[in-house]
Amino acid sequence: MKRTVRRKRIKKRRVGLLLIVALLLAFGIKGYIFANGKPSLHKTSAEEETEFNGSDEQVDNTNVLILGSDARGDERARADTIMIANYSSNTKEPKIVSIMRDTYVHIPEHGYNKINAAYAFGGAELMRQTIEENFGIPIHSYAEVNFNSFEEIVDAVAPDGIEVTPTYEMTQDKKSLGVQLTEGTQKLHGKELLAYSRFRHDGNGDYGRVERQQEVFGKLKEEVSSFSTITKLPKIVRIAYNSVDTNVPYRTLLSVGTDVVRGKTKDVETMRLPMDDTYHNTRYDVGAVLEFDEGGLEENAAEVQAFLEES
């Protein structure tokens, strides 16, 4: 019996100018820059050393690999956030696929491991290969987002803070930002909001983290779409510009940026991998992982391909 499709679709109001302070920084901020006539890409030495062999097939749907980490300089940590941002130039419909970082997959030339290890082993290119091998998703470009600038961006977008409602106390050890959040409705600033979105030391683990990240992105989008924030864009752009390394083509940035600025984009749809009821929790030498059930990987691959291809 075929399982019911379990796609989590979150309909939001029209996408704001920085949509996706996580597609977001790549499409929103860089798109804003290009749409406003400032086509000068900053390339770091790390970027220049990375050979990213994304798909060069000319298609209407563009898939951008979004990788978030707090690594500094030449460090290469495991990816804390793994997303695929999809945009259709025909339908103007943005989609986001979130991949839980503990998903247990085969990494080319490295054997089985958590999917976030691919970034530590070989950067964005090896992550691209891993996603294409396991899920059959062609990746055209990438954007690496440094979380160290997230705090500044949040405080610039919402100087009075972002309102959230933790349902229990969240305590982060020093390694996880050194922040303690109490239960109940409250306004959080950059450092606290980052801790809230990345917290995973509870019974929900990576599931809760993904849900909170989507919640935070939604609230940031609402803040960004306000007129008061629009007037702060130059400052926000200055803060965020150097926190994103991307090889997204100029034509794509210009197209998406123009659509966003003109308010042509549609609601955001999201999907999470692995899907419910297609995997189980277990433990290997690499630690606790999410391992696909028999046939689960194939089912996830088929569903995510259909999700990204449908208009």
Per-residue pLDDT tens digits for 204-260: 666 777 777 767 776 776 676 565 555 666 666 666 555 667 776 656 655 665 555
In a domain, 277, yes or no: yes
**257 DSSP assignment:** H
Closest C-alpha to 31, from 263, 267, 254:
254
Domain contains 16: no
Average pLDDT over residues 181-187: 86
On whether residue 104 sits in a domain, the answer given is: yes
Q: Which residue has the higher pLDDT, 24 or 290?
A: 290
CA distances from 48 to 22, 44, 45, 143, 161 (A): 22, 6, 5, 14, 37
Is the pLDDT confidence value at 311 over 60?
no
Task: At 248, list the tokens.
Answer: 């997204």
Tokens of 195: 């801790």
Q: What does the pLDDT read at residue 159?
A: 87
Listed ranges 25-39, 147-161, 181-195; the one with the highest mean pLDDT = 181-195
Q: Judge whether 41 lies within some domain.
A: yes
Stretch among 52-66, 234-248, 277-291 having the lowest mean pLDDT: 234-248
Q: Which residue has the higher pLDDT, 291 or 311?
A: 291
Tell me if 19 is assigned to some domain: no
Say if 15 falls within a structural domain. no
Q: Provide the number of structural domains found in the chain.
A: 1
Domain of residue 98, CATH code = 3.40.630.190
pLDDT at 73: 47
User: Domain limits at 277?
Assistant: 24-309
Say yes or no to pLDDT of 293 above 70.
Answer: yes
Least confident of 150-159, 269-278, 292-301: 150-159
Per-residue pLDDT tens digits for 87-142:
777 777 778 888 999 999 999 999 999 999 999 999 999 999 999 999 999 999 88
Name the pTM for this structure: 0.70
Per the model's pLDDT, the better-predicted residue between 263 and 41 turns out to be 263
Average pLDDT for the chain: 73
Highest mean pLDDT among 142-156, 165-179, 266-280: 266-280
More confident residue, 139 or 21: 139
Per-residue confidence (pLDDT) for residue 273, from 0 to 100:
96
**Please, which pLDDT band fits residue 287 given cuts at 50, 70 and 90?**
very high
Single-letter code of the amino acid located at 277 = D
Sheet harboring 269-273: ordered strands across? Answer: 244-246, 141-146, 61-69, 81-88, 94-99, 269-273
Q: Is the residue at 293 inside a domain?
A: yes
| pLDDT score recorded for residue 288 | 94
Res. 309: pLDDT tops 80: yes
Interval 142-165 mean pLDDT: 80
Alpha-carbon torsion (97, 100, 106, 109), positive or negative: positive
pLDDT attached to residue 244? 66
Per-residue DSSP letter, 270: E
122 lies in a domain? Answer: yes
